[in-house]
């Protein structure tokens, strides 16, 4: 439409004899132009776009963001995948990998750049989980984690077995049904599916390895889809199995299911039920060989399995003695404590304690009575001295006397008596009676 208008204007100019005024220019700022470009991109690519291409120079930064170029034979496109989307990737983006990306075309005005913001990334021709499986398998195989020489045989007479599995479901019920009554079972419950399941399984294996009296570990779960079993294809689980000090049986899914944990484990069981049966098979096989050896003529050189059995019996005997010694020592100490408590509660000990307390209180009481008596005696003496100083008798000692009338009243005035009255005078020593004239 714009071209058509331009051509009409050009023909009009050619036919017109009068000159035309120059068109008015609209000058835009850089921000205005980039905003118009951005609006154009948002209008044209309002929905997600799926693009197929080859990964070039993928870089995963410490921030968690993934930057790469997506290219084909004629063009290249800058791409970014933010960490919120990167954490859902099951495989490792590698140079030259053909992929299909889903996302949006975005324009960044500050830099004037066009980038493809990737929300979904999947390998072309192969599922993401299958590719991740092959990548991890190749990596661990190069490290030698699948080598047969590093795998250990199961103990001939396991006594305590650790289970790292979900506490619910048919798998754990089957394993417990088979093992109970034959060996002691330590169940370490863990998640086996969903986000965080791989870390939980690795933690469970590590916790069981910290128990000193375990003989081996069974790690597994029942059947399911590839997504359901994926936790046992994670590197963290493979590392936990490879680093286990105890032999590990991997019992994941059904017989047709193979996982990374199966390849790393010392023994792979087709199902959890078979894993439990393998534990008992070791015991039955060793007992059968022993019975067969007892029926055969004596041999000059001891067989390797019999020597191993003898060593295990000696080790078990030593362990049993140690296991009994500790409870006995603890019981003896407990008896001593209870004996001391019992003696403390006996009537005889109570009476002795009370007698000692009574003797101690008697001494305290006597000391306090004596002290109080001395204090009161001193106080009486002091009061007696003061009383004597105030006594009339003390006055008589200085030559004074006291006169009483016939009624015993003290005569203080001559007017209190009449002639002929009898009076009594008390002196310091003795009394005088006289009659008034």
Q: Please give the full DSSP string across 225-263, using - where no structure is assigned.
A: -TTTTGGGGSHHHHHHHHT-SS-EEEEESSTT---HHHH
The two tokens of residue 124 are 């072309």
Please report the pLDDT score of residue 303 as a whole number.
Answer: 57
Please report the pLDDT score of residue 10 as a whole number.
Answer: 45
By the 8 A CB rule, do 165 and 276 touch?
no
pTM: 0.49
Please report the pLDDT score of residue 127 as a whole number.
Answer: 64
Break the chain into its structural domains and give their ranges: 30-125, 133-287, 395-435
Q: Which of 60-64, 153-157, 290-294, 419-423 has the lowest mean pLDDT?
A: 290-294
% of the chain residues with pLDDT over 90: 15
Q: What is the mean pLDDT of residues 331-355?
A: 79
Instruction: Let me know if the fold of 30-125 is the same as that of 133-287.
Output: no
Q: Which of 228-232, 261-265, 428-432 has the lowest mean pLDDT?
A: 428-432
Give 65's pLDDT tier (boundaries 50, 70, 90).
very high
Residues ≥6 apart with Cβ < 8 Å to 21: none
* Residues 84-103: tens digit of each pLDDT: 888 888 888 888 778 888 88
Q: What is the mean pLDDT of residues 112-120?
A: 86
Q: Rounded to 5 degrees, what angle do the CA atoms 109, 114, 116 make?
A: 125
Residues ≥6 apart with Cβ < 8 Å to 79: 67, 68, 69, 70, 101, 103, 115, 116, 117, 118
- Mean pLDDT of the chain, nearest integer: 81
Q: What is the mean pLDDT of residues 230-258?
A: 89
The two tokens of residue 278 are 């393998």
By the 8 A CB rule, do 137 and 260 touch?
yes
- Pick the most confident of 35-39, 187-191, 415-419: 187-191
Please report the pLDDT score of residue 98 as a whole number.
Answer: 82
Report whether pLDDT(189) > 90: yes
Q: What is the mean pLDDT of residues 160-170?
A: 90
* Residues 381-413: tens digit of each pLDDT: 888 888 877 777 767 767 678 888 888 888 788
Please report the pLDDT score of residue 186 as a whole number.
Answer: 92
Residue 132 CB neighbours (<10 A): 21
Cα–Cα distance between 35 and 220 in angstroms, integer?
56
Q: Which of 145-149, 232-236, 306-310 has the lowest mean pLDDT?
A: 306-310
Cα–Cα distance between 172 and 177 in angstroms, integer?
8
Please report the pLDDT score of residue 4 as a whole number.
Answer: 38
By the 8 A CB rule, do 220 and 165 touch?
yes
Q: Which residue has the higher pLDDT, 395 or 137?
A: 137
Report whether pLDDT(108) > 80: yes
By the 8 A CB rule, do 205 and 241 touch?
yes
Give how far the C-alpha of residue 194 lies from the chain's centroid of Cα atoms, to the nearest Å: 21
Q: Which of 208-212, 263-267, 389-393 has the lowest mean pLDDT?
A: 389-393
Please report the pLDDT score of residue 12 as a whole number.
Answer: 40
By the 8 A CB rule, do 119 and 99 touch?
no
Cα–Cα distance between 258 and 206 in angstroms, integer?
23
Q: Which CATH architecture has domain 30-125?
A: Beta Barrel (2.40)
Q: Which of 275, 202, 197 is nearest to 238 (CA)?
A: 202
Q: Which residue has the tokens 């001391």?
A: 340
Give 219's pLDDT tier (boundaries 50, 70, 90).
very high
Give 250's pLDDT tier (boundaries 50, 70, 90).
very high
Classify domain 133-287 at the CATH topology level: Rossmann fold (3.40.50)
Please report the pLDDT score of residue 115 as a whole number.
Answer: 87
Please report the pLDDT score of residue 7 as a whole number.
Answer: 41
Please report the pLDDT score of residue 328 as a whole number.
Answer: 81
- Pick the most confident of 121-130, 293-302, 333-342: 333-342
Give 20's pLDDT tier (boundaries 50, 70, 90).
low
Q: What is the mean pLDDT of residues 352-369?
A: 87
Q: What is the mean pLDDT of residues 290-303?
A: 54
């Amino acid at each position: 439409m714009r071209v058509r208008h331009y051509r009409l204007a050009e023909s009009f100019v050619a036919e017109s004899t009068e000159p035309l005024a120059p068109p008015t220019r609209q000058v835009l700022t850089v921000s205005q132009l980039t905003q118009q470009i951005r609006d154009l991109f948002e209008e044209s690519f309002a929905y997600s776009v799926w693009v197929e291409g080859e990964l070039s120079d993928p870089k995963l930064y410490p921030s968690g963001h993934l930057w790469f170029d997506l290219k084909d034979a004629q063009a290249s496109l800058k791409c970014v995948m933010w960490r919120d989307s990167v954490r859902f990737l099951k495989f490792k983006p590698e140079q030259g990998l053909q992929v299909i990306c889903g996302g949006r075309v975005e324009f960044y005005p500050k830099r004037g750049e066009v980038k493809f913001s990737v929300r979904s990334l999947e390998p072309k021709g192969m599922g993401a989980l299958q590719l991740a499986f092959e990548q991890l398998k190749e990596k661990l195989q190069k490290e030698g984690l699948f080598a047969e020489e590093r795998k250990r045989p199961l103990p001939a007479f396991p006594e305590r077995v650790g289970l790292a599995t979900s506490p619910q479901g048919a798998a754990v019920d089957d394993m417990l049904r088979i093992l109970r009554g034959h060996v002691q079972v330590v169940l370490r419950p863990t998640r086996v599916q969903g986000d965080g399941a791989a870390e939980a399984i690795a933690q469970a294996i590590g916790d069981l390895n910290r128990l000193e009296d375990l003989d081996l570990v069974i790690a597994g779960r029942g059947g399911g889809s590839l997504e359901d079993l994926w936790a046992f294809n994670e590197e963290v689980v493979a590392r936990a199995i490879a680093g286990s000090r105890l032999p590990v049986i991997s019992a994941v899914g059904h017989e047709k299911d193979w996982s990374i944990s199966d390849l790393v484990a010392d023994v792979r069981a087709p199902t959890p039920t078979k894993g439990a049966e393998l534990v008992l098979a070791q015991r039955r096989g060793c007992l059968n060989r022993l019975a067969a050896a007892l029926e055969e003529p004596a041999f000059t050189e001891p067989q390797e399995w019999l020597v191993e059995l003898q060593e295990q019996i000696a080790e078990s005997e030593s362990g049993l003695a140690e296991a009994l010694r500790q409870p006995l020592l603890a019981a003896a100490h407990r008896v001593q404590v209870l004996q001391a408590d019992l003696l403390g509660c006996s009537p005889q000990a109570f009476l002795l304690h009370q007698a000692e307390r009574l003797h101690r209180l008697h001494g305290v009481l006597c000391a306090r009575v004596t002290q109080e008596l001395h204090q009161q005696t001193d106080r009486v003496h002091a009061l007696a001295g003061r009383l004597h100083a105030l006594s009339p008798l003390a006055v008589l000692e200085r030559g004074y006397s006291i006169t009483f009338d016939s009624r015993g009243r003290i005569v203080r005035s001559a007017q209190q008596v009449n002639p002929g009255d009898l009076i009594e005078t008390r002196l310091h020593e003795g009394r005088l009676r006289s009659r008034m004239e």
